[in-house]
Structure 1
Amino acid sequence: MKLETRMRQSIKRRVGNVVLREEIAQLGSKTQVTHVLKALIEDGTITRLAPGVFAKARKVNGDIQISGDVVSVLAEASEKLGIVLHKETFPKDLNSSSSSEVVIETDTPRISRKMVINGVEIKFRSVKSVRQARFAKKHKSVASYVEKLARQHKVHYVENSMDSWAGTVTRLAGDYVKSDRVENLLVALKRAGKISKKEVASLAVNYLRERKQGVRSI
């Protein structure tokens, strides 16, 4: 059986409308799968939502559109990609939207992804990142921002066995530097899932620069 036929059957039999490339990648080589996907897009069997993300499609008045409504396809694609949509701000009229660009808020931190569904560009924005950015602007220093963020989430630093072990190793190596309260709070916030690894690195660098050079802005 030809690869194209097998891929068509695989896509047709799947429950739901969204298909990830990784779900059908095992049917052939990378080059073969890419070639067939292009053919399926050209004949309107599927449409590309984002890199590696496709949806079953149909022709409507000569135009290729997704099978199903925008909301259900967006929800299915987001779930498969591990994107947690923010229910409180999710637009209810997305199916009838005439906008060429829509911003969807998510509870997934540090996200930078977008999709195109029926010609509408959908951008994802992290609610957490937006709130923290606004929160940070209200403070004059990294230290005050970190301390207030910790109070807001009721996070406290507690040394664990790994911290103790790491401290012992660095001290024996002659390179021991004791962390201060702000640096410890950054560690605690990361462990509690309140900030990402990238945010920790950014805040730590700015805090050290602020402490060394007297810079008072984030």
Structure 2
Amino acid sequence: MKLRDKLKSSLRQWKADVFLRADFAALGSEAHLSRVLRGLVDAGTIVKLGVGVYAKAKPSALSGNPIPVRPVEVLAPQALKRLGIKTYPSKLVAAYNAGSTTQLPANIVVNTGNRRITRKLGFGRKFIQYENNSGRAI
């Protein structure tokens, strides 16, 4: 069985919507795995959210182009969890959930505790921003 077929079979059985390149490292060499993943991105089976981070894809109802199966707001915390980064609600989301404001947050902001993150995650024009407990956006 070719690596492309093995990878597609694994993705069908994969329950999570987000997966890392390292999850499939045992299937083949790094170069071959990179070529197959790039081919799956080009075919519209998966979309790339960041370096080594991919998500399952579906065709857009408007344009027909591949988009993630879930919004970036949902996929980003899942991806960070898979990378071993604990996330918390941002200050704006916490204030909205507490009822102290009725303003919805406009951007995707994730609180990473005291950890500084520089990884760029997102799709299209939506990328997540990070804040840590000091309150300043990174």
Q: What's the TM-score bracket when you normalise by the shorter of the two chains?
A: 0.7 to 0.9
Greater length-normalized contact order (CA 8 Å, ≥ 6 residues apart)? 2
Contact 1:46 1:55 (8 Å CA) reproduced: yes
1:83 to 67, 82, 85: 85
Q: 1:71 to 1:103 in 2, by over 3 A?
A: closer
Q: Secondary structure at the match of 1:76?
A: helix
Q: Could you say which residue in structure 2 is the equivalent of 1:162?
A: none
Please tell me whether Structure 1 or Structure 2 has the larger radius of gyration of its CA atoms.
1
Deviation at 1:55, TM superposition (A): 0.4
Q: CA deviation at 1:119?
A: 3.0
1:108–1:79 CA distance, 2 compared to 1 (3 A): farther
* Contact in 2 for aligned 1:113/1:123 (Cα 8 Å): no
Any unmatched runs of 5+ in structure 2?
97-103
Count, aligned residues = 126
Q: How does 1:138-149 map to 2 (within 5 A)?
A: none
Gaps of 5+ in 1: 132-218
Higher helix share: 1
The residue aligned with 1:105 is 111
- Look up the SS of the partner of 2:16 in the other structure: coil
Q: Residue 38 of structure 1 aligns to a residue in which SS?
A: helix
Q: Which residue number in structure 1 is paired with residue 53 of structure 2?
A: 53
Q: After TM superposition, give the deviation of residue 6 of structure 1 in Å.
A: 0.2
**Which one has a larger percent strand, Structure 1 or Structure 2?**
2
Q: Aligned letter for 1:66?
A: P
CA drift of 1:37 comes to: 0.4
Partners of 1:108 and 1:56 in 2: CA distance = 30
Is the Cα contact below 8 Å between 2:76 and 2:128 reproduced in 1? no
Quick check: 1:119 aligned with 2:121?
no
SS at match of 1:127: coil
TM-score, structure 1 normalization: 0.51
Aligned to 2:44, the other structure's residue is in SS state: coil
2:40 maps to 40
Instruction: Identify the range of structure 1 (64-73 vs 26-35) with the bigger mean alpha-carbon deviation.
Output: 64-73
CA RMSD of aligned residues (A): 2.6
Alignment match, 2:99: none
